[in-house]
Amino acid sequence: MRLAKILLVLALLCIATITHAAPRIGVVTFGPGDVFFERFGHDAIVVLDEDTGVATDYNFGFFDPGEPGFVGNFAHGRMMYLLEALPFDEDLGYYRDVGRSATIQWLDLRPEQAQKLADALAVNALPQNQRYRYDYFTNNCSSRVRDAIDDALGGALKNQLAGRSRGNTYRSESVRLASPAWWMWIGFDLGLGPFADTQLSRWEEAFIPMRLQESLREAKNPDGRPLVAQEVRILPQKLAPEPKEHPRRAWPWLFAGVAVALLILAFGQKHPRVLGAFAFGLWLACGVLGGVLLFLWLGSEHVAAWRNQNLLLLDPLCLLLLPAAWALLRGKATGKFARNIAMLVAFGAFVAWFLHWLPFAFPYQDNIAWVALLLPVHAALARALNKH
């Protein structure tokens, strides 16, 4: 009997010796960078092995620009991204070198939840599983982090975030974060259709890493305790910080549009060559951009760009007006065909404005600033062309 007790104690000691502590799980959030695809910030999941002290960084943000057909797939909205498992210090080194901040939130998870998440990430990072179909808004590197945590919590994170909203939209967040680069925010604002103007829940706005970071601070674990047990700033932000939110006002755009329209009407007839130069540049830009918007709608899988009402402002028909602009540059008459096309373009811009009065008949699109800018200009050009 005594021998049996000794053997039982030895067995328990052996089990205790080979039992590993559950890993520690953290979410690391990186500040915005200077490169255009870094403007939105980034995040990853850190798994710390408490027994060995080894920290592994699971990063969903990798892509291979050298893979066959990358450019074509990018243009058509069929991008493939990768989950990579890296030593945390190695991944952190890049952000240290470029001056981007890093903040880690250590999560208060049950041991079985932490182990479940670590195991799922390890399997997901295998070569046969690591690729996933990327979408800027609904399936990106931050939403993947969000989903992995929610799965480990049995859906508790989504339950806390899905029913709440701050009124942000995909457009407002994209334009705000892209605002340091004028060409980038204009591209987002012109290229996004009505899909981008639905108010987002806190769950949906977590496609932005910094928004997910904010929501994690407020979330609870299934036991009712704060989900974030500890938050630590690892690296400072040496680059420009995340842009703040600003209200979108249409009146400056209207002022600019009306001012340009008045100049066209006042001096267009006396200075046809100047009018022709301005019209050529505007119509060329509108026609080319309109062609791009048309391709994104009809020829790509970029759902956020479908049914874009800016096609009524950046009308591909403007390309048919280039001969008329060239005629003005040479001091010649423009012709009836050009005048009719110009009137049609102006009417399309008017329809873009009128759609804002029919919110129940057409999906709402937040493009009133572009309407305010371009409607007076298109109308003035159509009027001016009638005099040439």
Torsion (CA) 307, 313, 318, 322 in degrees, nearest 10: -140
* Residue of 343, 388, 367, 383 lying closest to 262 (CA atoms): 383
CA distances from 203 to 38, 230, 243, 350, 366 (A): 21, 22, 21, 37, 22
Residues of the chain with pLDDT > 70, as a percent, come to 94
Region class of 351: left (phi > 0), else alpha (psi between -120 and 50), else beta? alpha
Decide: 107 and 25 in contact? Cβ < 8 Å: yes
Decide: 193 and 305 in contact? Cβ < 8 Å: yes
What is the 3-state secondary structure of 14-30? HHHHHCCCCCEEEEEEE
Query: Which residue ranges of the chain lie beneath pLDDT 70?
Result: 1-20, 359, 361, 388
Q: How far apart are CA 292 and CA 191, in angstroms?
A: 9
339's tokens: 């005048």
Q: What is the pLDDT of residue 5?
A: 41
- For the domain made up of 19-164+201-235, the CATH class stated in words is alpha beta
Torsion (CA) 144, 149, 152, 156 in degrees, nearest 10: -110
Question: Strand pairing partners for 231?
Answer: 105
CATH 3.90.1720 placement within the chain: 19-164+201-235
Q: What is the pLDDT of residue 14?
A: 42
Q: What is the pLDDT of residue 6?
A: 42
Q: What is the pLDDT of residue 246?
A: 86
10's tokens: 């030895």
67's tokens: 């893979």
Q: What is the pLDDT of residue 2?
A: 53
Report pLDDT digits (tens) over 182-195. 999 999 999 999 99
Whole-model pTM: value is 0.90
Question: What is the number of other CB atoms lying within 10 angstroms of the CB of residue 64?
Answer: 11
Q: What is the pLDDT of residue 239?
A: 94
